[in-house]
Chains A and B, each alone.
Chain A
Amino acid sequence: MNRENRKVLFSVICVGILLIICPVFLPSFGLYLLNEMIIYGLFSYGFYLLFSHAGYLSFGQAAYFALGAYSVALMYKHVTVTIWLPFLTAIVVTAIVATILGFLSVRLGALYFAFLTLAFAQMIYAIVFRWRSFTGGDDGIPGVSRGIVDFYVMKVDLESPMHFYYFTLVIFFALTFVLRKLVTSSFGLTLRSIRDNIERSSFTGVNPQRYLLIAFVISSIYCSIAGALHTSLTKMAYPELSYWSTSAEPIIMTLIGGIYTFSGPFFGAVIYIFLKTYVMTLIGNWVLFLGVVLLVIVLFFRKGVMGFVEERWGANL
């Protein structure tokens, strides 16, 4: 193991241990924030796979965030509070919708993709908003349960913040591990070849549309799971979850963190949630603030925070 890998492993273990032991010392609000950071980190990873590796910028991942949220909220409410079936529903529904809309969106290149994802997400927002009898319209679904994990030999009630935190953390660790494996595999390499030159990669016998569609569906499932966890944490589902301003959040988090670093989306989420909690009240006009932040990053600070740290620390984080 060389010096650089050791540095990476050391950082990962440090952050992992921090995430595991932190809740013991944190007050309940701190725990809630940390939980939110992890969920948004997952949401950002969904966006990151498509954006950083395939070069496809989706302005509509909120649609899948909301699909996950509403699937789980409705299942908890009407069917069962055991987590398995609701989460499975969220994943299946997302996969079906993402396959259909993704098929229409990836065919015509990255530019079309950007505004088609936005348009389809706004369509889903309109459906959620209007279909009052099913989704509750603009009232949303209040009082969502956090579910129960049923292992047959034992049951864990997620209503307790601590239990729910560790439940989220396990999912987060598992999904980031899978994503890491995915982007370092030949699948990740193929996506990056498509990003760098779509024509050349198709000359090597790759079908770019198929790879992009698969990446889009995986990305959407990540967003969906994040949405499902978010609705459990906040105990409600509401139409704004699918609005374009929600799609902007993982974009900004990933950019703050650094688009070409693996740890960027997570640390971007940490910084974003921190700002949102402590700065929003000072500023008042959050949308304007976010717009300015995004503008500044695009014009002057494209490598992001972790890109900056990488340069100093000398390791690919």
Chain B
Amino acid sequence: MDPGILLIDLLNGLSRGMLYFLMASGLTITFSVLRIINFAHGSLIMLGAYFAWSLLQLMSGNWAFVLIVLLSGCIVGVIGILIEVFFVRRIYSSEHLYQLLLTFALIMIIDGLALEIWGGQPRTMLLPRFFLGAVSIAGNFFPKYSLFTLFGSAVVAVLLWVFLYKTDFGKASRAAAADVEITSALGINVPLIYCGMFAIGVALAGFSGGLGLAMSSLTPGVGAHIAVTCFAVIVIGGLGSLTGTLAAALILGVFEAFGDHYFPQIAMALPFIIMAVILLVRPQGLLGRKE
């Protein structure tokens, strides 16, 4: 095997993996603080991509695209705040089942609205010329956009880490994840943290959608497919562990990249196979804690 091609496959896998991390990290953050699995996460990723598509009709230029991706993340984040305030907030004290059902209802509402606004036909983003084409790495070609995704995701991952570990809000939210009662006894505004972390989780979804779906065609059903990949990532990594999510996303991305190249017949089933193996061997996930 040609080492140059292996390198390209590896880079491809890392790029895909970082994107998976970005997609699933919002789910992990929301779960670790609010103890809620947001089923609509995949649909919100799709929504981010749709916003990016619409904004791309209005703006052009290489730097505008970076702005568009950030902006679509912010818009989806604002939608997240509205969802938290109007719906999710009402059911924190309810049984788990109702929380699941509520976010499941949101999938249908978001998909329905997307169909209403953007229609059922597939939408493809027309990327600025700067992001098209390929760069040469050790004599082999690597798509420029994948490189951009890799760097973009890595920057966001670092920013996320800084936010969670270095800012007061991040520290307070980690405290709330560890023990809500003590945190609120210390005078920290827990409802604000809940709202903020839900919004950040959702904004990450929107951002990853804008960044990640640029190369694929968009239809209102794509959210469910992405949600399943996100679930696979958090199961493999361990529910609630951000490091686990990163590890699982990279593993899945690299496996898929090599699978696509060498075993295309089973590449589609890879997330499920890895997930099933993890559930059998280490049910709590790679870095999850046993309950």
Distance (whole angstroms) from the CB of B204 to the closest CB of chain A: 18
- A38-60 residues at the B interface, CB under 8 angstroms: 51, 55, 57, 59
Known: A116-B235, A285-B112. A110 touches B97 (CB 8 A): yes
| Docked complex Cα distance between A51 and B91 (Å) | 18
B269 near A114: Cβ-Cβ < 8 Å: no
- B18-38 residues at the A interface, CB under 8 angstroms: 37
B37 near A114: Cβ-Cβ < 8 Å: yes
Interface flags, A55-99, vs B, CB<8A=1, else 0: 101010000000000000000000000000000000000000000
Task: Judge if B130 is at the interface, Cβ distance under 8 Å.
Answer: no
| Docked complex Cα distance between A59 and B108 (Å) | 13
B97 near A57: Cβ-Cβ < 8 Å: yes
With a cutoff of 8 Å between Cβ atoms, the chain B residues found around residue A248 in the complex are: 104, 108
Known: A291-B108, A291-B112, A295-B109. A123 touches B272 (CB 8 A): yes
B272 near A251: Cβ-Cβ < 8 Å: no
**What residue in chain A is nearest B112 (Cβ atoms)?**
A288
**What residue in chain A is nearest B102 (Cβ atoms)?**
A298
A294 near B101: Cβ-Cβ < 8 Å: yes
With a cutoff of 8 Å between Cβ atoms, the chain A residues found around residue B97 in the complex are: 51, 55, 57, 110
A122 near B105: Cβ-Cβ < 8 Å: no
Task: Judge if B96 is at the interface, Cβ distance under 8 Å.
Answer: yes
Count CB-based A-B contacts (< 8 Å).
111
Query: Which of the residues A59, A120, A287, A292 comes within 8 Å of B115, measured between beta carbons?
Result: A287
B90 near A299: Cβ-Cβ < 8 Å: yes
B105 near A114: Cβ-Cβ < 8 Å: no
**What residue in chain B is nearest A285 (Cβ atoms)?**
B112
Task: Judge if A22 is at the interface, Cβ distance under 8 Å.
Answer: no
Secondary structure type dominating chain B contacts? helix
Task: Judge if B199 is at the interface, Cβ distance under 8 Å.
Answer: no
B101 near A287: Cβ-Cβ < 8 Å: no
B101 near A115: Cβ-Cβ < 8 Å: no
Task: Judge if B10 is at the interface, Cβ distance under 8 Å.
Answer: no
A122 near B98: Cβ-Cβ < 8 Å: no
Known: A244-B224, A248-B108, A292-B109. A298 touches B231 (CB 8 A): no
With a cutoff of 8 Å between Cβ atoms, the chain A residues found around residue B284 in the complex are: 108
| Docked complex Cα distance between A49 and B112 (Å) | 29
B96 near A111: Cβ-Cβ < 8 Å: yes
| Docked complex Cα distance between A59 and B98 (Å) | 13
| Docked complex Cα distance between A109 and B279 (Å) | 12
- A128-174 residues at the B interface, CB under 8 angstroms: 130
A299 near B87: Cβ-Cβ < 8 Å: yes
Interface flags, B85-103, vs A, CB<8A=1, else 0: 0010011000011101110
| Docked complex Cα distance between A55 and B90 (Å) | 21
Query: Which of the residues A104, A112, A244 comes within 8 Å of B276, measured between beta carbons?
Result: A104
Task: Judge if A255 is at the interface, Cβ distance under 8 Å.
Answer: yes
B111 near A287: Cβ-Cβ < 8 Å: yes
Interface size class of B (residues with CB under 8 A): 35 or more
Task: Judge if B182 is at the interface, Cβ distance under 8 Å.
Answer: no
B279 near A107: Cβ-Cβ < 8 Å: yes
Known: A51-B97, A107-B283, A110-B96. A294 touches B112 (CB 8 A): no
Task: Judge if B202 is at the interface, Cβ distance under 8 Å.
Answer: no
**What residue in chain B is nearest A124 (Cβ atoms)?**
B272
| Docked complex Cα distance between A291 and B109 (Å) | 5
A119 near B105: Cβ-Cβ < 8 Å: no
**What residue in chain B is nearest A52 (Cβ atoms)?**
B97
- B179-231 residues at the A interface, CB under 8 angstroms: 224-225, 227-228, 231
A108 near B109: Cβ-Cβ < 8 Å: no
A298 near B101: Cβ-Cβ < 8 Å: yes
| Docked complex Cα distance between A108 and B228 (Å) | 18
With a cutoff of 8 Å between Cβ atoms, the chain A residues found around residue B268 in the complex are: 126, 130
**What residue in chain B is nearest A259 (Cβ atoms)?**
B97
Distance (whole angstroms) from the CB of A84 to the closest CB of chain B: 33
B283 near A294: Cβ-Cβ < 8 Å: no
Distance (whole angstroms) from the CB of A275 to the closest CB of chain B: 14
Known: A104-B279, A302-B98. A251 touches B235 (CB 8 A): no
Task: Judge if B107 is at the interface, Cβ distance under 8 Å.
Answer: yes
Query: Which of the residues B116, B225, B275, B291 comes within 8 Å of A288, measured between beta carbons?
Result: B116
A251 near B101: Cβ-Cβ < 8 Å: yes
Task: Judge if A217 is at the interface, Cβ distance under 8 Å.
Answer: no
Distance (whole angstroms) from the CB of B87 to the closest CB of chain A: 7
Distance (whole angstroms) from the CB of B260 to the closest CB of chain A: 15
Residues in A lying within 8 Å of B, measured CB to CB: 51, 55, 57, 59, 104, 107-112, 114-116, 118-120, 122-123, 126, 130, 243-245, 248, 251, 255, 285-292, 294-295, 298-299, 302
9 A-B interface contacts by CB (under 8 A): A57-B100, A111-B100, A115-B235, A118-B228, A119-B232, A119-B235, A288-B113, A291-B106, A295-B102
- With A118-B39, A244-B224 given, name 6 new contacts (CB 8 A): A57-B97, A108-B283, A111-B239, A287-B112, A289-B112, A294-B108
Top 6 nearest A-B pairs by Cβ distance? Answer: A288-B112, A291-B108, A291-B109, A294-B105, A287-B112, A295-B105
